[in-house]
Structure 1
Amino acid sequence: MSEFKRSALMLALAAAGVCPWLASADTTALQQNSNQPAQTPTAVESSSKKTDKEQIEVIEVRSFAGSLIQSLNVKRFNDTVSETISADDLGALPDVSMADALTRLPGVSAVRTGGQASEINIRGMEGGFVFSTLNGREQVSTSGKRNIEFDQYPSELINSAAVYKSPKASLIEGGVAGSVELQTASPLKAAEQHNFVVNARGSFNDRADEVSDATEMGDRFSFSYQGKYLDDTLGLSLGYARLFQPSVSTQFVGFNYNNEKDVDGVKGDSTPAELISEGFEMQHRGGEETRNGYVAALEWAPDEKLTIKADAFISKFDTKAFARGFRAKFESSGAIIDNAIIKDNLMIGGTIKRASDGNTRVEMVNDDNTDFDEVRSYGFNTDYQLTDDLSVNLDIAHSSSSSNFRNGLLWSLASTDANAAKPVVDPNVSITYLLNGLDLPSIGINQAASFTDINKMLVSKYGIYPTLNTDEVDAYRLDFTYKIENPVISSLEAGLRYSERDYTNDRQVFEFGADNMFLASEAPLRLTQDMVKVVNFKGDFAAFPSYLAIDLNKALAAWFPNGIPQPKQTWGNGYAGLANPVPGGKSTPWSVFESGDVYEDVTAAYLMANIDTEVFGLPLTGNLGVRMVETKQQATNLTYVDGDASQGAQYITDEAGLVSDDYAPSIVGMKYRDYLPQLNLNLALTDNDQLRFAAAKVMSRPPINQLSAVTTFTIGSNGDVSGSATKSPFLKPFYAEQFDLSYERYFEDSSGALVAAVFYKNIKSFIQQDTITDFDFAAAGFPLPAYVPGTEPGNPDGLPPRTPNPIGDYSTAVNNDEGGYIRGAELAYTQVFKFLPEFWQGLGLSASYSYTESEISTEVQNGRQSFKADLKGLSPNVFTVTAFFEYEGFETRLSTRFRDDFVSDQSALQDQEIRYEAEMVMDYQASYQVTEQLGLLFQVNNLLDEPTKSYWGDTAYTGTIQFFGRQYYLGATYSF
């Protein structure tokens, strides 16, 4: 059977005319014969490298069509349900990142952040359900969750990518939606003895001129080197990729409906008060994104039995951005509202005026945000063929990330007289607006003239809100493969893996002044002409008021000539911190509550049989296995004990010196074990037709930041304990049972394929807030006093000492047992029209369509408004179409990606779910190969200037309307 598969593969690749360049595509072509995951080189691969490798290296991919055919051949001979992108595909396309590249695969869609793809969804499930590896090694993220931000990975440094929609026992667990495997180059598989490629491109954004001080031009540069030495036993690969691009957008954001007031004049229980929005904002956003990526690999194969490889990948993504404009904030019940326009009990228009002692206001916003993200991945792999039948593979891996996000703000308010000795906020505020669904609203503000007048505007508040994340995992893996002579099973695989993951989140808050008034103790800043300039909205937004853009450095230097003072901090419950706290003093350090550490240790083992047999005379291949996973998770915890030292109360100080002695620190958590059976079968109906079936139990762990803990618990006079927390280190994974069935038809002459698939996932549970009864607080590690308060020995109440009962109710984030199904169908078609006359033989089409539905729905509660929502990330209809044409070195193609409405997090407001409008993104590319070494390229991303639009449950309740512009690229590639 293995000879049949190997011969079929070589015939298919030879017919495709695909070539030595693929040799840099690492191990993907060899996986078909080894029945091994793409995650690590295998002993079977090592034993075959003097036979299969030599044949693979005669393959040649020279075009987009060739890369598509290569991807189909990898899919054809993989032993799981998967989608792949070939090395040439990645090298030929100027995708900004791997997120853009992956969205061209069936069933894969992206969430755009700042106009470009970042997080991906697979089969209607969001990024938290997607597990990702690089060279077979678990990757951590800068997101503060488990969601991988694929824009961190330059496409120039990745040689191949695969999306595994069905798992097998040898793959690392973690993806209910699927797993994404990225591979960097293996230098010993390079086509040439020495190969050097240089790529340079310039870029231009056509909306940058609408944003004052925005950058219009960007650039991309990359080079890579692959070389073989010592009679091809030592290989070296090096790569560097730099991206500098403008980040530009103009946006309107409608805020959530969190205020309530009876504005229609109809009273009574049957007509509840109407919900009023918190307000809206109009902003210009601009900035610069700089990404520097580095990759290196050293590979040594002194003989056919031993291969040793060390590799490293580093990506640094820095963002410096500003957000300028104005923000209207509505007060709640005290507001004066005229001419209210109501739709389904929500106010979508009217005139709002400030009450005499109210807070309705318009803030002029000059925010300055920076984000410094870094991902690092290092690995060492040894593959050794112990005997002709037994091989062993050892892999040691380290992946780490760090993120330093600083949200800085400078807010101004209109005053009656900015030059007054004691300026006051202008109370004459009148805001008239009418939402227009998914189009821009109508807005009128009586203070609009003041927004550009330094005799009216005063800076009232300065603040910085840092979020510091670090995440790292160390992993050790040992795999064995044993070939056997059996009419059903071709080999057995077994392995062990151990990993330790540490996650740290550190929140900080620094504030000076106030956002709704001018403080006498922290006097506002009077603006001077040299600090400001008038900015006008343009294009679609030209009707909105102008405002003052403030030079942040000049403003701060004038406001704080002796340096920024130690800031006062005001917390959510109204307590004010002390600049120089005295031990024993109390405050409410919110930043400490938002911070914490999570520790996760995982031990896994698997056993898998690779199937190679016949059923009714038809070849049947695949695998059957089970994976055991034991997880130990713990988190730092703060438990409210009201300063009781007997319960472990300690002084806790945050970054600004605020002190609290109300809480007892501890480490709490749990351990659990899972068994994940998995089956993959592939039946070859004919030489060109095959049927796949897969079944598995899969899991995805909760977002790692949701495992941290801050708990409040009380002990009643009877000794009963009860507690509550919004997060929990006792959350277990999401589980699902899934089934896949697909039919694949590969056309003659390797000109394309037609693939139809159906899938079904039975999701077992989701996370929600609930109450756990009979929870054992003592066993979980929570600090409990020795005696019930008031009954300790010597207590003046004279009550007999009583030990607390550690069993009680715990209200927290829990795994509910109300899951449901996700099911759908996928159709993919790729065709190079070789049957046409010679000139048109380079014409082709690649298209895919996926339909997904789910019975799972949630009630999204944002403030006082709620709406029924589908599973986050689920778009019922997703399709991609690429039409291409190639002739004598010239290539052109037009790509379109469409996805239906879906629910995700609001991009402008943290931690709020919102519904996004359907979108269609179109890209165009043309290239010409001038010589064998030199190629030229032109591309337009977001050809239709597609905006991002969102809404609060109904299109009438506008969320975000954000335009990013088109991005143009012009560049060249030179190889020698």
Structure 2
Amino acid sequence: MTKITHMPRRAALLAGISIASIALGSSVHAQEAPQQPAASEGDIVVTGVRASLSSAQALKRNSDVIVDSIVAEDIGKLPDRNVAEALQRIPGIQVQRRYGEGSSVAIRGLTQVRTELNGRDIFTASGANQLNLEDIPSELLAGIDVYKNPSADLIEDQLSGTINFRTRKAFDFDGFKAAASLTQSHFDLVDRYKPSASLMLSNRWETGIGEIGILASVSFQKTAFRQDTISTEPFYTLDPTVAGDAAVLATLGRTGQTTTLPHGTGIGEVYGDRRRLGTDVSVQWRPSDTLELTAEVFRSDYKFRYDDYSFFAYTSNSAIQPLPGAPFTYADNGDFQSGTFINLPVGNNTSAETRRSKTTDYSLNLKWKPSANLTVTADGQYVDAKTKNLRSIFGLNGTADTLYQDISGSVPVVNIGSATGLANPATYNSAFYLDNLNESKASDRTARLDAEYRFDAGILSSIKAGIRFADRKNRTIDTGYRYTGLNGIPSQLENVDLSDFFRGDADLFGNIIAFNRSIIRNYQDTLDTLGIASAPAYVQSGTNQQRQKTYTGYATAFFKTDPVDGNVGVRVVRTNLDVSGFYQQIAIIQNPDGTESNGPAEFNPINASRSYTSVLPSLNLRVHLADDLQVRLAAAKNISRPSFGQLNPSLNITEPGRAQQDQLHTTSGGNPYLKPMKSDNFDLSLEWYFSRTGSLTAAGFYKNIKNYIQTAVTPRDVTFNNGNTYEYQVTSFNNVAKGKVKGFELAYQQFFDFLPGPLSGLGMQANFTYVDSKAPSPATTGPVVNVPLELLSKYNYNLVGIYELGSLSARVAYNWRSKYVVTTAGNGTGNLPIFNKPFGQVDASVSYNVTPQFALAVDGVNLTNTRRSTYFGIDSRPRDVVVNDRRISLTARITY
């Protein structure tokens, strides 16, 4: 999807707490490794957090491959609002946050993650090849497995790992099962309460045609958020050979000295909410001991909405004028730290954005055992996914007399002054409106056939082979941004009180006026108020399509000879890809009444096709050094195909209107000629399981990646058919030569049962991940040339204190990650990468089982009110500082 804006963007963030969902019927191919001892009569049956940790540990211990799992034995007993937050406690996983919630993850520093539902494709229709993790309510899941170095029988298309979400089935339970939960959450910055609820019903019956089981589950969640941001951008180094820059240097008394000044600053105050509705219905039929059929329909319906105020003083790449004689301070390298500027354009925007995504997964699975040694599995799936997006922006423009900035502290000081006052309509001389609509529809048809034959004796324990066909399509229609120049300043303005902005910790410029938020939240009301007849029309040139067919065959041999077991295999994949779109330019035309609007589109079609075959061998070895100690070795080749969004060839460029001329002009598009990324993966792990819930593990990994895809920003002069030329910062993607990722993970968990009395309920989890990577930056000159891979923190750790004794369970978790690259090239910054500073946050939960069937829980997220900050390449050039909500939730759960 192509986007175009003419204003500073904002950042994202925040948090969650962990221990997720349950697991029976794992897709992990378990072998006859040492098992946890079964409970016998008189044994204490472990429940709650201990049972969850015990089950997760058993899955990791007994798997044929390197895998970590999240398991919650109690139905719905999960404090996390979505699956991204549930995943953040697993070693090697780092969570990206958007408006206060986890939205995506990186595994061992790489974001090229494959998402599956019960071992099948699952994705959001948005041009991505994976599921948007914030879409799925975690209550629907039975468990989550994270595969870090796959075997040949697992589906390809990932560099870092595969996340498989497992749902419950009726045959997981002995008979009738019911569970329900009700939650009320408070979000403190936005000061709103939102409810959540879930219900699961399951039963199984013996009938005249065999055993039948039915399970139905539904989850409903609402959340709210507010995000406050202070931004500084872009930075430009003064060029003494340019007359305008030389004059500025002279005014500053810096002639002959390297000097870098910011050309803009501003604030944003975003209000929004999310709604998740998830349903899962499955029917199982076992007509005989050798045949089992499972049909399932899984549906996720996600709504996201925000509206905001933003106010900024901004000259883009035009010169910024210092106040003569005013004091200025600089960092040692000549970067601006504080000072006063004069006569700056100011922008005052009120905007709204909505997204609705629906993903429905239909699947049918047949499992047949014609003999004790042979198992044949046939599987079919159809995924139907739809996403609709709306962006609506009202803007006022004027001029500020002065701007004082001090960016030397943790919270930048921003004081914008105007003789007429920022809350006075007379300060603003023009207004405009932008709107954009787009829709994506995606589908996936897959079929696979697998067979496994187990041997009764010998080194070879089994052979597994299969074939798979997948046909995935994605089609996006986009109106492009429609510009409407308004004739005068509308009267529907309101006073915005900024006294509590940034929790009252910001040094700002007082109140402002802005277009009414209650109007901008309703798209039709906005059009009616501004006198715009209709929404923009979808046109042929706003369409892009991608289609990908894959033909796969694999064979894997599983072997065992004391003390070694493992598997070796190869996967061969043929990929056929077709993409199409348009290059489009839209010039502004002058209407007879003096207003401006979009003219007719000029466009040219773009089509690209390619095919390639990938051969992907893999080897997994495990050595049992003792009953409780084992070593794993793994090596594999893998590929990660470019996402459909990255391949989208369309590029839409709309000429800026009169009211936008002083703002930064940006656009983005894909690259249809991207190659798939290839990686050679090597893993080594040592695992010590010293008790049912106690383990100490260490893992090292190395990935050698070719054709790694990174973001690149290129300035481009665009001339429209009316003769006007403007510079655009065009964001796209390219294949850098290669990248390397290496590191290690340490993980420890234990309950201290040996302690006396109440202290025996204490336990802890701890893990640490080190990831080192290197890839060339798109920038070839300047202060930062080589950077880590995007979204990769070198250091990440989790510390979780646990208490569980009797009916009481409590947990306090701290998650921390070091700095990471948000993007390898930012707009208007000399192509510098944008870094997120190190940050950590504290989450906690307490639950009490009032009866065996009824429990109460309270949990808190972001209890330390963590701020997140970004900077351009070097920390003397800050970009954004962001605060989000703390969340406190009270939950009641019933299980029968």
Match of 1:734 in 2: 677
Distance 1:504 1:527, change over 3 A: same
Q: 1:565 aligns with which of 501, 526, 532?
A: 532
Bigger Cα displacement from structure 2, 756-765 vs 468-477: 468-477
Residues 1:298 and 2:270 aligned together: no
**CA-to-partner distance for each residue in 1:432-489, whole Å, 9 max, x for gaps?**
212135x111222112862223455577112212343333221111111112345221
Q: Please report how far the alpha carbon of residue 542 of structure 1 lies from its aligned counterpart in structure 2 after TM superposition.
A: 4.9
2:132 corresponds in structure 1 to: 149
Does the residue aligned with 2:792 lie in a helix, a strand or coil?
coil
Aligned to 1:203: 185
Work out whether residues 27 and 119 of structure 2, in 8 Å CA contact, stay in contact via their aligned partners in 1.
Answer: no
Provide the residue aligned with 2:165 in structure 1: 182
How far the C-alpha of 1:34 sits from its partner, in A, is 8.5
Which of 766, 774, 777 lines up with 1:855 in the alignment?
774
Shift of residue 372, structure 1, vs aligned partner: 1.4
Q: Counterpart of 1:32 in structure 2: which amino acid?
A: A
Q: 2-side partners of 1:840 and 1:369: how far apart?
A: 50
What is the rounded CA distance, in whole Å, between the counterparts of 1:559 and 1:697 in structure 2? 53
Code of the residue aligned with 1:405 in structure 2: it is N
Q: Tell me how many residue pairs correspond in the alignment.
A: 810
Q: Which of 55, 65, 87 lines up with 1:102 in the alignment?
A: 87
Per the TM alignment, residue 68 of structure 1 is displaced from its structure 2 partner at its CA by: 0.7
Matched, 1:960 2:869: no
CA distance in structure 2 between the partners assigned to 1:907 and 1:204 by the alignment: 37
Q: Work out which of the residue numbers 738, 757, 761 in structure 1 matches 2:699.
A: 757
Q: Could you give the per-residue CA deviations for residues 518-551 of structure 1, whole angstroms, max 9, x where no partner exists?
A: x6xx3331346xx556453443445322122532
Equivalent of 2:339, from 339, 345, 350?
A: 350
What's the offset of the Cα at 1:167?
A: 0.3
Change in 2 beyond 3 A, CA 1:334/1:694 = closer
CA contact (8 A) 2:21 2:141 kept: no
Q: Is the 8 A contact 1:433 1:443 kept in 2?
A: yes
Where in structure 2 are the equivalents of 1:228-627 lying within 5 Å?
228-230=204-206, 233-257=211-235, 261-262=245-246, 263-265=248-250, 274-338=259-323, 339=326, 341-343=329-331, 344=333, 346-354=335-343, 360-413=344-397, 425=398, 427=399, 429-436=401-408, 439-447=410-418, 450-454=421-425, 456=427, 460-514=431-485, 522-527=487-492, 532=495, 534-538=497-501, 539-544=503-508, 545-552=510-517, 564-565=531-532, 595-614=543-562, 618=563, 620-627=564-571
Out of 20, 23, 26, the residue aligned to residue 25 of structure 1 is 23
Higher strand share: 2
- 1:940 maps to which residue? 860
AA at the equivalent of 2:406: L
C-alpha separation between the residues in 2 aligned to 1:704 and 1:901? 29
CA distance in 1, matches of 2:711, 2:846: 52
CA distance in 2, matches of 1:269, 1:429: 23
Tell whether the 8 Å contact from 1:199 to 1:974 is kept in structure 2 after alignment.
yes
Provide the residue aligned with 2:6 in structure 1. none
Q: What's the CA shift for 1:280?
A: 2.0
Structure 1 residues 659 and 875: alpha-carbon distance in aligned structure 2, compared to 1, 3 A threshold: same
Partner residue of 1:635 out of 579, 583, 588: 579
Distance 1:53 1:461, change over 3 A: farther
Query: In the alignment, what sits opposite 1:135?
Result: 118
Structure 1 pair 906–89 and aligned structure 2 pair: CA distance change class (3 A): farther
> Does the C-alpha gap of structure 1 residues 444 and 726 become closer, same or farther in structure 2, counting only changes over 3 Å?
closer
Aligned-pair CA distance for 1:275: 4.6
User: 1:505–1:705: 8 Å Cα contact kept in structure 2?
Assistant: no
Give percent identity, aligned residues only.
23
- Over residues 284-325 of structure 1, what are the superposed CA-to-partner deviations in whole Å (9 max), with x where a residue is unaligned? 211221111111111111111111111121111212211114
Q: CA deviation at 1:703?
A: 2.2
Contact 2:774 / 2:787 at 8 angstroms: preserved in 1?
Answer: no
Please, what is the CA RMSD of the aligned residues? 3.6
**Which amino acid in 2 is paired with 1:525?**
P
Task: Name the amino acid aligned to 2:680.
Answer: E
* Structure 2 residue corresponding to 1:217, chosen from 187, 193, 209: 193
Counterpart of 2:624 (choices 678, 684, 695) is 684
Q: Residue 825 of structure 1 aligns with which residue?
A: 744
Report the Cα distance in structure 2 between the residues aligned to 1:301 and 1:448, rounded to whole angstroms: 80
Q: Which amino acid aligns with 1:602?
A: T
Change (3 A) 1:348 1:568: farther
Secondary structure in 2 matching 1:361: strand
The structure-2 alpha-carbon separation of the partners of 1:746 and 1:29, relative to structure 1 and needing over 3 Å to count, comes to farther
Change (3 A) 1:60 1:255: farther
Matched, 1:893 2:811: yes
Number of the residue aligned with 2:145: 162
CA contact (8 A) 2:826 2:833 kept: no
CA change 1:396–1:403 in 2 (3 A) is same
SS of the equivalent of 1:188 reads helix
Q: Residues 849-888 of structure 1: matches in 2 within 5 Å?
A: 849-859=768-778, 868-888=786-806
Distance 1:889 1:557, change over 3 A: closer
Unaligned 5+ segments in structure 1 are 1-21, 36-51, 210-215, 355-359, 414-424, 570-578, 580-588, 642-655, 713-724, 771-811
Q: Please state whether the residue corresponding to 2:411 is helix, strand or coil.
A: strand
Q: Residue in 2 aligned with 1:39? A: none
Matches of 1:561 and 1:97 in 2, distance apart?
37
Secondary structure in structure 2 of the residue aligned to 1:91: coil
Q: How many Å apart are 1:865 and its aligned residue?
A: 8.7
Matched-pair contact (CA < 8 Å) for 1:259–1:333: no
Between the aligned partners of 2:96 and 2:526, the Cα distance in structure 1 is 40
- Distance across 1 between alignment mates of 2:530 and 2:873: 46
Counterpart contact for 1:188–1:233, Cα < 8 Å: no
Per the alignment, residue 754 of structure 2 pairs with 835
Query: 1:732-762, CA deviations, whole angstroms, 9 ceiling, x for partnerless residues?
Result: 21111111111111114x2411101111111
Preserved CA contact (<8 Å) 1:225 1:239: yes
Q: 1:700, 1:869 → 2: CA distance?
A: 21
3-state DSSP of counterpart to 2:790: coil
Q: Distance in 2 between matches of 1:254 and 1:906?
A: 18
Residue type matched to 2:770 in 1? Answer: Y
CA distance in 1, matches of 2:647, 2:106: 23
- TM-score, normalised relative to structure 1: 0.77
Amino acid at match of 2:532: P
* Counterparts of 1:156 and 1:833, CA distance in 2: 29
Q: Residue 767 of structure 1: which of 703, 709, 712 is its match?
A: 709
Q: Would the aligned equivalents of 1:511 and 1:567 in 2 still touch at CA under 8 Å?
A: no
Three-state SS of the structure 2 residue aligned to 1:95 is coil
Distance verdict in 2 for CA 1:739–1:453, change over 3 Å: same
- Within the candidate set 52, 65, 82, 1:67 is matched to 52
Aligned match for 1:226, one of 202, 219, 224: 202
Provide, for residues 132-181 of structure 1, a one-character-per-residue CA deviation record: whole Å limited to 9, x for no partner. Answer: 10011112224532353212121111001111011011100011111111
Name 1:212's counterpart in structure 2: none
